[in-house]
Amino acid sequence: MTVRQSQWDLACFSYLAHARVSHVARYPEANQGAEVTRTFSSLAGDGPIIAQDCAALGLRTALVANQISDDPTGRHTRQYLDAVGVHYRAGPSSAPRRTPHLTVITDDAGTRTWFADLTHAYASLHQADTSPIEQARLAYIDGYMVIADAAAGALLAAAGAGVPVLLNLGGDRLHPKLHQAARQAHVFAVQTSLPEFRAPDADDTARSLLTELGAHAAVVTVGALGAVAVTRTTTHQIPARKVDVVHTHGAGAAFSAALAAAHLDGHDLPTALHRAGEAGTAHCTTIPGTDASTPERTAS
């Protein structure tokens, strides 16, 4: 039997944008203002930050995403990826006049609000070169509703090459096209999130996704309450340590990156979930850097 040689340990599919994150003590009322207490830049889209984090751990990592501009923001965004050796593969579409971006506001209560300028990012994903997915040991795919059509294509590419998938819905509903494509793929795990007030629904949500997609595992994160993961035979509760939270921006991506890395290292699911929970918690205690010349490892 011929053993397939993989060029990449992990190939991530998502939109790519630049994010500027500002923190305030509390959100102001309409027509009022608030003092910004800290601000930092990051990548936007879970896939890019997962590629960044896993590459920093020494994994051979590729990112399949949209084109970005050669403007200062775009060059800064590429710096995040180049600094850790992420292979960035965009499609043949022409670069936009400016790099897609998010403005994100966080507060002391741990909430965040974002304002997105991502039209070009969504549109050009349909032309992204998915060949790195076919050459990877594991594919991470963001299945947000706004990019579901393109994500379905990425899932089919993984299915055709026999590459297992970590699929992240990011709290969105499962799009019918994504559902159909996922049923043809080997979904190692499907991940989504719920707000903390819906924690009692986490187990049912996970079981529903497990059944719908035929996945090996379904994982539902619930913020500071941790996560629930189910397989056909077991249920895992992943508690979150009580810590002083600096910010929650990017915690879900940190969880996913650690889950993918542990799986690729050959760890069993309970160990991978434990590492993912610890990574997500630790991320919330980190004060991001503010030196614009040095890429910070934080994301949306």
Instruction: Work out the percent of the chain whose per-residue pLDDT is above 70.
Output: 91
Q: Does the pLDDT value for residue 193 go beyond 90? A: yes
Q: How many CB atoms are closer than 10 A to CB 84?
A: 18
Write down the pLDDT at residue 287: 64
Question: What are 59-95's pLDDT values in tens digits?
Answer: 999 999 999 998 999 999 999 999 999 999 887 777 7
10 or 28: which leads in pLDDT:
10
- Given a cut of 60, whether residue 2 has pLDDT beyond it is no
CA–CA separation, 163 and 155 (whole Å): 9
Portion of the chain with pLDDT greater than 90, in percent: 64
Confidence of residue 288 (pLDDT cuts 50, 70, 90): low
Q: Would the pLDDT of 1 be above 70?
A: no
- Looking at residues 169-183, what average pLDDT do you find? 93
Average pLDDT of the chain, as a whole number: 88
pLDDT of amino acid 91: 72
What per-residue confidence (pLDDT) applies to 290? 37
Query: What pLDDT is recorded for position 41?
Result: 87
In angstroms, the CA 208 to CA 169 distance is 13
pLDDT, one tens digit per residue, over 197-232 is 999 999 999 999 999 999 999 999 998 888 999 999
Secondary structure class of 55 (helix, strand, coil):
helix
- 151 vs 287, residue with greater confidence: 151
Fold for domain 8-283? UDP-N-acetylmuramoyl-L-alanine:D-glutamate ligase (3.40.1190)
Q: Is the pLDDT of residue 34 over 60?
A: yes
Domain assignments of the chain as residue spans, ordered by start: 8-283
Looking at residue 4, what is its pLDDT?
58
Question: What's 145's DSSP letter?
Answer: G
Model confidence, pTM:
0.90
pLDDT at 61: 97
* Section 101-119 average pLDDT: 87
**270 to 164, 183, 235: CA distances (angstroms):** 18, 24, 10
For residue 90, list its beta bridge partners.
65
